[in-house]
Amino acid sequence: MKVITLAPISADARQAMQTKLDGLGKPIHGLGKLETLAVDLAGIEGTTDLRVAKRCCLIFAADHGVVREGVSATPAKVTAIQAINLLNGHTAAGAMGTAVGCELQVVDVGIAADLTDPRLIHRKIRHGTRNMVEEPAMTLAEAQAAIDVGMTTTQDAIAAGNQLILIGELGIGNTTTAAAILACALRVAPKQMVGRGSNISDQRWAHKVDVVTTALDRWQPDATDALDILHKVGGYEIAAKVGAILAAAQAGVPLIIDGFISLAAVVLAELLAPDVRHHVLASHQSREPGSQIAMQRLGLTPLLDLDLATGEGTGALLMLPLIDVLQAVLTGMNTQADLDFGYQP
């Protein structure tokens, strides 16, 4: 896949937004991180008149062959179950989406079951990846196809008028896959990236480290080649997230990432489109220990730190009320010029 060149973030819009914020009837920088968020949104959209009203959360779902190694406390069948529960509004993200006014779309990129629910976006590459300990997780063609799913799904969401794109995922075993991707691409020891995912025991965590180490040692993915990493230790939903990030950046639409799994996708997207990280917004600091390393390497600063470990896009959804409050301030607050400081009570 050729390296993608992106239009730069608008420095003029960023400066204009800061000037606009400084002109509001409040202390300079008084809104703290919300001002940083406003400036980042303006830079991505290229305007101080933020477009944030219509939003969509794309939740990519796929299974992972590596679960056969016993790396998760949750059975693989839960991916399929939760996909339907999410559509019914009965998962964490499903309930949150209703509360914050965000459409949720569930995309089957590789669920290991044949789901016929018409509300699903059916883009299955395969019934889950292969076990990356025994063989490469996917073919190069499958890696590219999964990226393409993410790109086209995101392009369709933008064409439908969505002004903010959020991404989440479903996939039992995907913290193992994400840890392998990040350990490779960031050139750090697996032990630094592997977390407890579904709240596994110390013994299973040590086994999970061994699984990631074995897969990386056996297949030796090229740390500079996103497709090779996906081919050898990747996941279909992570590849789809890569495509979503690229498509939103190309369109100048802000994309809000979730936690640890999304960070693996951003790191891969950076290999395909340098500086794409400037086009995404980091919602929260995941409980997974490797997320802090990845955030630092990417130069991202998460807005929230709620000790989340749910996935599904929950962290991204929790940013929306803050964005709505920010928009209300920008459109409804008095400016310094409006205030009569000569008023005598």
- Outline where the chain has alpha helix (H): 11-22, 33-45, 78-87, 92-100, 140-159, 174-185, 190-193, 202-219, 226-233, 236-251, 260-272, 290-298, 314-332
Q: Are 174 and 258 in contact (CB under 8 A)?
A: no
C-beta separation of 52 from 327 below 8 A? yes
Could you give the C-alpha distances from 276 to 7, 60, 249, in angstroms and in order?
10, 20, 7
CB atoms within 10 A of CB 288: 24
The DSSP output letter for 53 is: S
Count of residues for the chain? Answer: 345
Nearest to 143 by CA among 261, 17, 233: 233
Catalytic residue from among 69, 142, 270, 312: 312
DSSP helix, strand, coil percent of the chain (3-state; round to 5): 50, 10, 40
> Which region holds residue 121: left if phi is over 0, alpha if psi is between -120 and 50, else beta?
beta
Closest CA relative to residue 312, chosen from 47, 44, 106, 101? 106
For residue 306, what are the contacts with CB-CB under 8 A and spacing of at least 6? 284, 315, 318
Give CA–CA dist 48/201, Å, rounded: 48
Adjacent-strand bridge partners of 284: 304
- Take residue 210 and report the two structure tokens written for it: 């061994």
> Is 134 one of the annotated active-site residues of the chain?
no
Classify the phi-psi angles of 187: left when phi > 0, otherwise alpha if psi is within -120 to 50, otherwise beta: left
Torsion (CA) 295, 299, 302, 303 in degrees, nearest 10 = 170
Active site residues: 312
